[in-house]
């Protein structure tokens, strides 16, 4: 409960920037999810096969099983979409952030920007150990400790309703 008191002390600018960051991440997740749902040929197979680094074996093993690939496809499509909606609407925001981070950690582990690897996926920038996925993970962690769903978002109603 004590955390909620901290929330109450955001300044307008702080709230604005935190909410804006949440909305941008939400937009990004939502679109990534929706394009995958809209494309009947999309599959996580190529991405899994492209994995390199310490955990590559796990991701390659996943790709080798058609039913695992099908599950990964489904989880990515709907996971990304629901997380995106959650962040945009401020609905179950903390859960959306948690699962969003989980997905991002998987992406990072499957494609770590190590000095020694080159990926098939074209990259628009240059990365070494740190890439955009890692920064997003930390941005989401930041939003978890500075929550905003209860200020701007449907969570505001939930908080009120659940409060006795």
Partner 1 sequence: MKKDNKKQEIASPNTSAQQIGRRDIIKGLAAIPVLGAFSYAWLRKNNIDETYRKNMREVVNLTSQPVELAPSVKEGKPIRIGIIGFGIRGKQLMRAAGFPEPTWIDEQIKAHAENKQNTNYQDYMEQEQLNIEINGVCDIFSVYSREAAIAGSNVNREGAAGKMGKEPRQYKTYLELLDAPDIDAVIIAAPDHWHAPMAIEAAKRGKHVYCEKPVSWTVPETYELVRVVKEKGIVFQLGHQGRQTESYTRAKEAIDKNVLGKVNLIEVCTNRNDPNGAWVYDIHPEASPSTIDWAQFLGQAPYHEFSLERFFRWRCWWDYSTGLNGDLLTHEYDALNQIMNLGIPGSVASSGGIYFFKDGRTVPDVLQVVMEFPKQDLSFLYSATLASGRSRGKVIMGHDANMEISDRLVIKADPESTQYKKKIEEGLIDPNTPIYSFTPGKKGADGFATATEQYFASRGLLYTYRNGLRVDTTHLHIKEWLNCIHAGIQPSCNIDRAFEEGISAHMSTKALLENRRVFWDADKQVIV
Give the Å distances, CA to CA, from 52 to 60, 61, 121.
9, 12, 12
Query: Residue 10: is it exposed, middle or buried by C-beta count within 10 angstroms (0-12/13-18/19+)?
Result: middle
- Tell the smallest beta-carbon distance from residue 77 to partner 1 (Å): 14
Candidate segments 99-107, 108-116, 125-133, 152-160, binder of partner 1 by CB under 8 A = 152-160
Under the binding rule (CB under 8 A), the answer on residue 9 touching partner 1 is yes
Using DSSP, state whether 130 is helix, strand or coil. Answer: strand
Under the binding rule (CB under 8 A), the answer on residue 134 touching partner 1 is no
The one among 17, 21, 32, 50 contacting partner 1 by CB under 8 A: 50
3-state helix, strand, coil in the chain (%, to 5): 70, 0, 30
The two tokens of residue 22 are 């949440």
Binding site for partner 1 (CB under 8 A): 4, 7-15, 19, 23, 26-27, 30-31, 34, 38, 40-41, 43, 45-46, 49-50, 60-61, 63-66, 69, 85, 88-90, 120-122, 150-154, 156-157, 159-164
């Amino acid at each position: 409960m004590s955390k909620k008191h901290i929330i109450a002390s955001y300044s307008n600018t702080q709230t604005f920037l935190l909410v804006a960051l949440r909305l941008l991440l939400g937009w990004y997740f939502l679109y990534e999810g929706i394009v995958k749902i809209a494309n009947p040929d999309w599959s996580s197979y190529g991405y899994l096969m492209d994995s390199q680094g310490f955990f590559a074996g796990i991701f390659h093993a996943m790709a080798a099983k058609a039913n695992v690939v099908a599950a990964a496809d489904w989880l990515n499509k709907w996971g990304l979409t629901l997380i995106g909606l959650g962040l945009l609407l401020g609905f179950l925001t903390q859960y959306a952030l948690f699962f969003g981070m989980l997905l991002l950690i998987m992406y990072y582990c499957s494609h770590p920007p190590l000095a020694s690897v080159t990926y098939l996926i074209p990259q628009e920038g240059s990365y070494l150990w740190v890439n955009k996925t890692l920064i997003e993970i930390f941005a989401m962690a930041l939003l978890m400790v500075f929550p905003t769903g209860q200020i701007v978002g449907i969570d505001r109603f939930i908080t009120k309703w659940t409060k006795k």
